[in-house]
């Protein structure tokens, strides 16, 4: 650590953030811009439910799950964390790869063929986009079974509403059949529109149990979350993000959305480093050019 760092106490930071202080400003900024996991209670609860599904005994009608929240509420972060906890690995006999949890993006419209393409692409399987849907289906079923995929996670599943009703129903039927044929749980991530979409298929509605990610309230839990963020941000001076005035400002700017909180703190941290202030306070939050979700929506009109 630098002589400056060694001469000062950095008890407000965790060990990794303290180490980052010894690096250049650009290296610190790169670190701040990289994603990090904060295990707040609701996220741990959702991860626990996913763990239960992963080891659920195989049967024809597997239970499934729908993680529901507003855009930028942290749904994808949870799924990525789960995928990181269950990475693909080579079989002990050397005969291929095991993929415990396959995390894919939903196609922008309800297309069976494009769903299969996304699965094959994520599994690095060779195929032609022009292949017939039946051929892709056979390839998906064969490869997923061979790789012992135990769970399929589909992000942005509400995008199926971008198509006509008949295609929505076909797409939902395809998801149900994938679960039935492979005997695996499926976890969908989406906005509240995803709930509405799933309810159009009574069989899926009974199997997809929703887990809601509400917006954060301006309360003790939110201030505790900010304290966790502060310990991970390599700034020399204590910010006291959990202080009432700063916490209220961040909550107002973020509208209670976890992803927005993270983006605000990244931008404020970079400003604090570049200006030499080395902390995030009300002045810094007022200086950064950050638009709330509502303000961005107004600009799109």
Q: CATH number, domain at 209?
A: 3.40.50.300
Confidence of residue 261 (pLDDT cuts 50, 70, 90): very high
Q: Which of 187, 213, 239 is the last residue of a domain?
A: 213
Q: What is the pLDDT of residue 34?
A: 92
Residue numbers of the domain that contains 95: 41-213
Give the range among 3-12, 194-203, 245-254 with minimum mean pLDDT: 3-12
Q: 145 with 262, same domain? A: no
CA atoms within 13 A on the CB side of 126: 0
Tell me the per-residue pLDDT of 31-82, one tens digit each, with 9 for 90 and over. Answer: 999 988 898 999 999 999 999 999 999 998 999 999 999 999 999 999 999 9
Same domain, 69 and 188: yes
**Cα–Cα distance between 190 and 67 in angstroms, integer?**
6
pLDDT of res. 1: 41
Range ranked top by mean pLDDT from 1-5, 161-165, 177-181, 197-201: 177-181
* Residue 95 clears pLDDT 80, i.e. is over it: no
Is the predicted pLDDT of residue 239 greater than 60, yes or no?
A: yes
Please state the rounded mean pLDDT for residues 18-26.
Answer: 95
Average pLDDT, rounded, for the chain: 92
Alpha helices in the chain (DSSP H): 3-6, 15-20, 25-33, 41-54, 75-85, 112-122, 133-146, 165-182, 192-198, 202-207, 220-232, 244-254, 258-275, 282-287, 293-300
Pairing mode of beta strands 89-90, 97-98:
antiparallel
pLDDT of residue 5: 45
What is the number of domains present in the chain?
2
Task: Return the SS3 of 216.
Answer: coil
Tokens 């949870």, residue located = 78
67 closest CA partner among 258, 260, 301: 258
Residue 3 pLDDT grade (very low, low, confident, very high; cuts 50, 70, 90): very low
Residue 6 has what pLDDT?
45
Residue 29 and residue 83 in one domain: no
Instruction: Please tell me the pTM assigned to this model.
Output: 0.89
The whole-number pLDDT of residue 8 equals 64
User: Domain check: are 226 and 152 in the same one?
Assistant: no
The answer on 57 and 20 residing in a single domain is no
pLDDT score of 201 more than 90: no
CA dist., res. 159 & res. 201, Å (int): 16
Which residues lie below 8 Å from residue 283, measured CB to CB, with a gap of 6+? Answer: none
% of the chain exceeding 90 in pLDDT: 77
Q: What is the DSSP letter of 169?
A: H
Task: Check: CB of residue 101 under 8 Å from CB of residue 80.
Answer: no
> What is the sign, positive or negative, of the torsion defined by CA atoms of 207, 74, 231, 1?
positive
Angle at the Cα of 89 from the Cα atoms of 66 and 182, rounded to 5 degrees: 45
Q: Looking at the structure, do residues 197 and 149 belong to the same domain, yes or no?
A: yes
pLDDT band at 298 (very low <50, low <70, confident <90, very high): confident
């Amino acid at each position: 650590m630098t002589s400056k760092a060694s001469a000062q106490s950095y008890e407000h930071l965790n060990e990794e953030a303290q180490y980052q202080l010894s690096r250049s400003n650009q290296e610190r900024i790169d670190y701040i811009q990289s994603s990090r996991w904060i295990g707040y209670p609701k996220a741990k609860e959702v991860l626990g439910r996913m763990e239960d599904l992963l080891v659920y005994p195989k049967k024809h009608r597997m239970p499934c799950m729908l993680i529901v929240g507003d855009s930028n509420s942290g749904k994808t972060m949870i799924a990525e964390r789960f995928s990181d906890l269950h990475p693909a690995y080579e079989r002990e006999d050397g005969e291929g790869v095991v993929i415990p949890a396959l995390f894919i993006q939903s196609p922008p419209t309800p297309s069976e063929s494009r769903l299969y393409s996304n699965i094959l692409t994520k599994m690095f399987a060779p195929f032609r986009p022009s292949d017939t849907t039946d051929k892709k289906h056979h390839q998906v079923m064969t490869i997923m079974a061979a790789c012992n995929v135990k769970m399929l996670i589909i992000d942005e599943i509400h995008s199926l509403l971008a198509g006509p009703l008949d295609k929505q129903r076909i797409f939902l039927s395809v998801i149900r059949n994938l679960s039935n044929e492979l005997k695996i749980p499926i976890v969908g991530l989406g906005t509240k529109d995803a709930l509405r979409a799933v309810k159009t298929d009574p069989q899926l509605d009974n199997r997809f149990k929703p887990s809601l990610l509400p917006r954060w309230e301006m309360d003790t839990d939110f201030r505790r979350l900010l304290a966790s963020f502060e310990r991970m941000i390599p700034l020399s001076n204590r910010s006291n993000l959990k202080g009432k005035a700063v916490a209220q400002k961040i909550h107002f700017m973020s509208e209670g959305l976890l992803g927005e909180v993270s983006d605000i703190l990244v931008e404020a941290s970079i400003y604090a480093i570049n200006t030499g202030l080395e902390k995030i306070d009300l002045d810094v939050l007022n200086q950064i050019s950050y638009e709330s979700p509502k303000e961005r929506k107004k600009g799109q009109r």
